[in-house]
Chains A and B, each alone.
Chain A
Amino acid sequence: MEPLSVMMFLLPNIWPLFVNAIWQQAIPTAMRPGLFFGVTVDPRFRESELGRAIRRRYSLVVWTATLIAAAILTTAVFAASGVFHGPAALTALVVDRRLQPLPWILQLAVALWAYVRGNRATRPHAMQPSSVIKVDLSAKPAAISPTLVLLVLPIASLAVLAVWTATHWRDLPARFAVHWAFGGPDRWVATTPAHVATWFSFDMIVCLVLALVTLGVLQGSRRIMTAGEAGLRELRFRRRVVSLLIAAEYFSVFPVWAGLLGLPSAAMKLWQLVFPATMLVLLARLLLVGQGGTRGLSVSNTVVGDRTADRHWTWGLLYFNRADPAFLVEKRFGVGYTFNLAHPFAWALLALIAVIPLIGKLL
């Protein structure tokens, strides 16, 4: 492996590890004040001595795992490039595409373990959230109609492209790219009706999932605070989540257009830079305002949590409550929303998400 290609491999593979570590490090302070490592607590617990100690232990483990994963990856790249003789298992991390995510998986698994430890340490300090709910009847929910139009447009653009493809079959290139590495396309398939239909179905389902989740955020999730400053901030947070999902949907249709129309690879290179950069900015915006827009709000003495009971959560990660009409609820560790696994619509959506990689395998 040439020095340049060492950098070309390391750059796209190392930075996600560090971005992920920064994200994981920030999450405990970005949660609602009444939630700590997935447990409902007194809003002042986070800044207590014990709360700080739990956070310190968690951060230490996350960063140790990140540095180890980065070191393994760097060593593997230099071994594969012939700088020194390394064992085959190590070089396989670079050479074998299937093994490339291993350092990333290692980091995630250790971070999850650190989180579960934090959850266990917090559980003895759990508190019952207040049973009193105040709803501002005049608070308007986010408008749905403009969002609906924005969500339908990418799907409609795919439909237009499908019609164009069917009517201009002879103008299509003999093969089209379905995967892009940092340097350009690295997987091609022949332009057959089966491949084109699979490529369209793949992206159509991605768009559909993103659209349904967006509608779920707007129409199928609980507003925890509706009144006053907290209510306004939550509404703004919700809009930010929606803008992220809509952006992801628009970016997701571009590769289909680029592949089938044979757009120059420079266009895809630009997409590869702009897409993650936009997502990072939008995610950072969410992190800055905190879960539900609560960051910077004055801490109250009332234990509100997220208006769900701890007993419906497994490790503060999986939510299952048949009595809750919401199919999406705020994450207890993370920023954004997660499924209510007791809701049939959540399972339908999860099944749709599971289909995406299966269709990807066909290409």
Chain B
Amino acid sequence: MAKATILAAGVGKRFLLHHKRATSLKERLLLHRQSSSEGFWALQDVDLEIGAGQTVGLIGPNGSGKSTLLRVLSGILAPTTGTVEVRGRIASLLELGAGFNGELTGRENVYLNAAILGLSRRETHRYFDDIVGFAELEPFIDNQVKHYSSGQYVRLGFAVAVHVSPDILLIDEVLAVGDESFQRKCLDKIAEFQQRGCTILFVTHALDLIPRICSRGVVLDHGRVLHDGDPVEAAERLRSLLGTGADQSGRGTVAGDRPRVAAARLFDPASGAAKGHFRGGEAMAIEFDVTAPAAGPPVSVRMAVTGPADVPMWVMESDPLHPGPDGTATVRFTVKELPQIKGIYALAVAVRDPAGTVTYDARRFSEAFLAVGDTATGVLEVVWTSEQVEPPDENPVER
């Protein structure tokens, strides 16, 4: 029986939030003994034993300590309590191309970065062509890295990191960057590592990836391990934690008399056919059903389309909606031309009073649609309209 590759026992990490910390000798002298700080436990009592060859998905809400855990396991941060034992060479893909120097060429950076990751010059020399080939940068390898596009930069970073023949791969959401074909290539590479018996621990927000790739799922919340085991259960556990559980597309039931977001539908405005996959420049319609007390005050719906890392891409807000006698209202947002964005987008939607002072309900529909366009550059100009419409007949609202 091989020993665990990663053994974390009782790991806790406490960050100090300094209020009046002396950051210079001068302040140190002036602020003598006045510095105050407050502890914040980013991780607590984390016990993890990861055997060789396992692929573990690490998921959790924002700020649950996922990245901190990866940084502690990779030896960048020292744990405040507990111990971490690691066997083998770690490639931590916390930030791709972290060690790159813009003034140097791609070639020089490959050698430098590989040396930092623990490779000898001879080994780097052997892998060099593979690295450049994987990154698809043959024509640019002798250009200065500062002239690279962000995609090229990230590709080179990933290529170096995976070619140092790691025993353990720690991946922090880096797969969210790069275009789709490169993402697929990265996933293929991960599969190759799995076959080779490499241990993989990765953080992701793409919950559908977890059951597909991982043999085990770990859910972190507020720095504690909430679930450790079956990956499908892990993803479900997180969904329920985030309130984006089942019934993402079905119609909800009215609970109480507070206005609520019941359902969301995405479709092609021309044909009315449901759709989840849009190309840049195509029209897109999004309908939300809202339940609200019949003949109650008007409500408005505000929604944001959010991209990777929850960055809001654009926001749309409806005019006041007047709930019908059945206590529902449906609003349709129509985007005339989808901007040239790329990736998986979520909808964050809230029901508020028209003045925007009270938010009655907020929901997030993650992985709502996939957009395939050229990568957006600059400011997005989105032309959209909103109107209150009759709810579709074929699917009557349950009351």
A and B found bound together: no
Give me the interface of B with A, judged by CB distance under 8 Å: none
Give me the interface of A with B, judged by CB distance under 8 Å: none
